[in-house]
Amino acid sequence: MRKYIFGGNWKMQLPTIKLATETARLIADLMSTVKGVEAFIAPSPNTLFEVGKTIEGTDLKLAAQNMHFMRQGAFTGEVSIEGILEAGCEFVLLGHSERRRIFLENNEDINKKVKLALDNDLKVVLCIGETAKERFDGLMAKVNTDQLSGCLEGVNGNQLKNLIVAYEPVWAINNMYLNPGIEIKAATVEEAIESHKIVRGWFDEIYGVAVADKMRIQYGGSMKPSNASELLRQEDIDGGLIGGASLKADSFIAIMNSI
Ligand code: PGA
């Protein structure tokens, strides 16, 4: 049995320590109403340390939204693994579509980050997903499996116990910079089932059935209390990576409680 896992990706939406710690405290307090799930929040880097202190000792875990692939050095504006471990992070999001498409990270960069994290016992939430055009052109499976093979190059099956995949179709992410001019909506259950099967199938083919069976695959992209339960009922959907609906404690908790 795979345990459901939910992540709140706060992006740059709760940008001050006051906003971030208040929201974190509310969510942490309400975690007592949720049973049988694992949950983390990924606050802005400048708030990470204080949020970490706020939720220390609660059931809510801490994630960073990104990190550099080097431990230390002359990299203006970047965040080191040392800093995020010091802040108390158990997880790091890597390869989010906003990083790939707005900040032009490629699979090779992400692969270096994945290895650095896994080698240092930091759990990775590896985000993958195709754009609307790629899906329209029939490239959904290829784009996602290429991202998996590029980002996981040289990672062995044993290390994958510390990896979670977030399948987030770019066209479903509530972000007008990623999706100019298109109507943004969550994947239908059928679309999500098809993609999640492809992702699990890739793990089966490359790493074998034991790894594939244990791999937790989150769905992300406009998940909210009104559509969560139908998505989460599907065999290959093991939780959610949630942006907008994780910024308010009650909607984030309602999503978790819809399992
Ligand atoms: P959204 O974002 O839930 O606001 O669509 C999800 C994500 O980008 O992780």
The alpha carbon of 11 and the centre of ligand 1 are apart by a number of angstroms equal to 9
- Does residue 228's CB lie within 6 angstroms of at least one atom of ligand 1? no
SS3 76: coil
The torsion defined by the Cα of 85, 87, 90 and 94, in degrees rounded to 10, comes to -80
Closest C-alpha among 186, 167, 184, 187 to residue 175: 184
Q: Report pLDDT digits (tens) over 120-173.
A: 999 999 999 999 999 999 999 999 999 999 999 999 999 999 999 999 999 999
Residues with Cβ within 8 Å of 38's Cβ and at least 6 positions away in sequence, in order, are: 3, 4, 5, 6, 61, 239
Q: Report pLDDT digits (tens) over 176-226.
A: 999 999 999 999 999 999 999 999 999 999 999 999 999 999 999 999 999
The alpha carbon of 252 and the centre of ligand 1 are apart by a number of angstroms equal to 12
Q: Report pLDDT digits (tens) over 216-252.
A: 999 999 999 999 999 999 999 999 999 999 999 999 9
* Contact (CB, 8 A) for 223 and 186: yes
Residue 168 known to be catalytic: yes
> So what's the pLDDT on residue 1?
85
* Two structure tokens written together for 106: 């490629």
Q: How far is CA 118 from CA 92, 93, 122, 125, 158, in A?
A: 10, 12, 6, 11, 10
The residue whose two tokens read 């985000």 is: 127
First to last CA, the chain: 14
The alpha carbon of 143 and the centre of ligand 1 are apart by a number of angstroms equal to 19
* Contact (CB, 8 A) for 164 and 199: no
Residue nearest atom 2 of ligand 1, based on CA coordinates: 243
- Does residue 222's CB lie within 6 angstroms of at least one atom of ligand 1? yes
Residue 68 known to be catalytic: no
SS3 132: helix
Distance of CA 157 to the CA centre of its chain: 20
